[in-house]
Amino acid sequence: MNFKKDLVLSVLALTGVLGLGATSSFPSKAATNQGNNPISKVATSGFDKKQVLEVNNQPFFYNGVQIRIDKLRDNYGYNMTDIRNAFKQAKSDGFTVVNSQILWSDVQPDKSLNPTDVAYVKNGDDAAKNFSESSTPFTLTNDGTNQSLVYLKYDLSNLDSSKFKAGGLDGAKLRIYAKANTTANLNVYGLNKDDNWSNDSTWKTIPFKGDTSHKAISVSPSYDPIKDENYYDFDVTDFVNSQNAGKVTLALQAQKGTTLEMGGGSQIGSKKVLNKSLNETPQLTLSSKSNYDYSYLDQVIKAARDADIKLELLWFGSDTTKEATEHRVPYYVMHDYTISKNSDGKSSITKAAPTSTTGQYVFGLDKNDANLQKQEAQSVSNVFNHVAENNAANGSTDTVIGAQMPNEPTIKMSYTEPSLSLKSKMNLSSSDFNTWTLWNYTNNLDAAVKTSAYPVWTRVNNAASDGGDAIIALNENKRSSSSTNLDAVGLDPYQYDYQHLYNYGHSKPYANGDNIPMVMEDGMGANSWSWAKGNYSPLDAGLRTITALAGGATRNYYDFKSGDGFDLYDGVNSDGTFTPHEYNGGKAIESIRDVNHFVNKIGYDLATKQADGAGGNSFYSSMPSLQVGIT
């Protein structure tokens, strides 16, 4: 069966039955939402189609693209002008909605301080010497004869007390850049009297020389000894809070018998990100549950509003692609809540390279930690309450129409007290408990959206073999027997061939009950993937949209540009346009753009009429025939 030939027949059939002129009634700008109705919701009656996404109580044709603004910013150095141009490009390409990341740390950023004073001192023949920090490598040695310390002073007196309460910080950490030839560990001491040393201090004049008069306030954790060149964090929350937002002095000393080298003096490494050397300055990072900053979120919403394209917010919080990373969450999340453990009882914390743009510490969190659930839900609620304020202040355009909570989360068990205790009480099998845990975690975040001042439709995506069938079954059971705040569970079927992609929209597990079957991520693929079998061409990018629609599903493309292997564009040009990505002599965006502009002309019918492949009888498509024999 010639797929591309039959695609032409399919398109002719669609246009012949529906008529391009007859479909122009699809509203490009829906009326402003009024009253307490949700901005968007899934209607399950009143239309030929079983599930219809509505925006402002009118059917909305969802044809989306994910724009990884987190990667554009952090990996490629894009500024907000570049991101605005990306949104405009997506609109020009015929997409009706953009979905983009908002990290928990985007709206609750930590505050990092550089030291106001730094002193590096050594004993012995150098006891009376002062070392210039700009020209001296900080080598910390503690071998009995040779000893050296680094003194750091931080000034907290000018902090905004409404956001960083004196003595009431929810987390504080010291971050250093260090390396060692053999495994080394560090002791961090806190000094209450910080007014009797300065940059000019020497070993002879410093008030503390690492003796037993002080107890270390923080030491290298067992999972993170100093070895490879990287960033290393030390929890100093209690001591910093005890200083009541004054000046904080920390003294750093290698543990006995070890030697390490740390940044802060002359550069000790040569690694770079975005062609810039890594920051090796020892920083004190402060974290507070009271600190909210919506300026970045406001700019993202404005970018979509100005491009006249709808926006979904993808929450990157305590679980994103089966893990949390310290760049994506405020430090207090890692400090205050239960880090998950594997079945062997070991912590889930692992370490990434110093050049990682998602952070050096990667870990899991126990989804059944009630305090974590409460705080993350509060943060999500605050975000959408702010979206309501932003919307009212900017003409009530209702630009934000959806929320993904979260992204490809894990269904893995955490062997920590909250989960172990709850599992025992619920008396469920391991698989059933893990399914319930993931559903409950997701539903909790979705409830925060639904009860906010700006309620929108909610969804969660699964990677293949990630328990999506069990989550859907439980969610549909909750929907019919009690309640759920989760509107849709969808798959990221990157490796589906055309037959499976076509079947997706009308087959279980995703076409189940009132679950709207949505392909939440699907890229143009790669030659080595099973559905391509060496025959992939850029035309397939557009054909997969037609295939999904013909089978009864909605499709969201991944992605605009991220470096993950599915990019539509390579980069932004000086004039704000983007260079299309080329593959096998063609440009995927060209086939996608052609398909987008065509399906948008029949968007109302696609949004409201059941495809024949999904059991409809008023919307003709020949797609079933063209799936036969396709490999």
Secondary structure string (H, E, C) spanning 196-250: CCCCCCCCCCCCCCCCCCCCCCEECCCCCCECCCEEEEEECHHHHHHCCCCEEEE
Backbone angles phi, psi at 225, to 5 degrees: -70, 155
In this structure, which amino acid lies at residue 327?
Answer: H
Nearest to 100 by CA among 52, 141, 68: 68
Tokens (6 digits) for 465: 């073999």
Domain boundaries, the chain: 3-107+292-627, 111-287
Both tokens assigned to 279: 């920051």
CA angle 209, 212, 216 (to 5 degrees): 85
Question: Options 1.25.40, 2.40.50, 2.60.120, 3.40.50; which CATH number does 111-287 get?
Answer: 2.60.120
Q: How far is 202 from 205, CA to CA, in rounded Å?
A: 5
The pair of structure tokens assigned to 614 is: 């999904």
Report which of 522, 388, 630, 527 is spatially closest to residue 65, judged by C-alpha positions: 522
Residue corresponding to tokens 């504080």:
172
**Nearest CA among 164, 163, 139, 151 for reference residue 115:** 151
> What radius of gyration do the chain's Cα atoms show?
28
Cα angle 305, 309, 403 (rounded to 5 degrees) comes to 90
Mean pLDDT (10-residue bins), the chain, 631 residues:
42 38 36 60 95 96 98 97 98 98 99 96 94 83 93 93 92 98 97 82 93 92 97 98 88 96 92 93 98 99 99 98 96 98 96 96 98 99 98 98 95 96 97 96 98 97 85 96 96 90 95 97 68 70 93 96 92 94 88 96 96 77 36 28
Contact 619, 48 (CB under 8 A): yes
Helix (H) or strand (E) run with residue 475 in it:
helix 468-481
Per-residue pLDDT, 586: 87
- CATH number of 3-107+292-627, picked from 3.10.20.600, 3.30.2290.10, 3.20.20.80, 3.40.50.1980: 3.20.20.80
pLDDT given at position 131: 87
In one-letter notation, the amino acid at residue 318 is S
pLDDT for residue 540: 85
Kindly state the tokens that stand for 474. 């439980």
For the chain, give the number of residues: 631
pTM over 0.95: no
DSSP per position, 366-392:
-TT-HHHHHHHHHHHHHHHHHHHHHHH
Locate 78 and state its tokens: 């894009």
Q: What is the rounded CA–CA span in Å between residue 322 and residue 386?
A: 28
Strand partners, 112: 285
Question: Is the CB of residue 381 less than 8 Å from the CB of residue 317?
Answer: no
pLDDT of residue 525: 59
Instruction: Work out whether the CA dihedral 534, 537, 541, 546 comes out positive or negative.
Output: negative
CA distance 362 to 354: 12
Other CB atoms within 10 A of residue 480 CB: 11
The conformation of residue 341, written as its DSSP 8-state character, comes to B
- Which residues contact residue 95 at a Cβ distance below 8 angstroms, ignoring those fewer than 6 apart? 63, 64, 65, 309, 557, 596
Reference 172, options 156, 186, 191, 151; nearest CA is 156
Q: ∠ CA 183-277-332 to the nearest 5 degrees?
A: 65
8 Å CB contact between 551 and 545: no
Q: Can the peptide bond before residue 59 be classed as cis, meaning omega within 30 degrees of 0?
A: no
Query: 335 is written with which tokens?
Result: 């400090």
- Is omega for the bond preceding 207 within 30 degrees of 0, making it cis? no
Please give the pLDDT value at position 195: 65
DSSP 8-state symbol, 627: H
Cα–chain center distance at 552: 29
Place of tokens 């952090």: 74
Among 114, 121, 115, smallest CA distance to 210 is for: 121
578-580 and 569-572 strand pairing: antiparallel
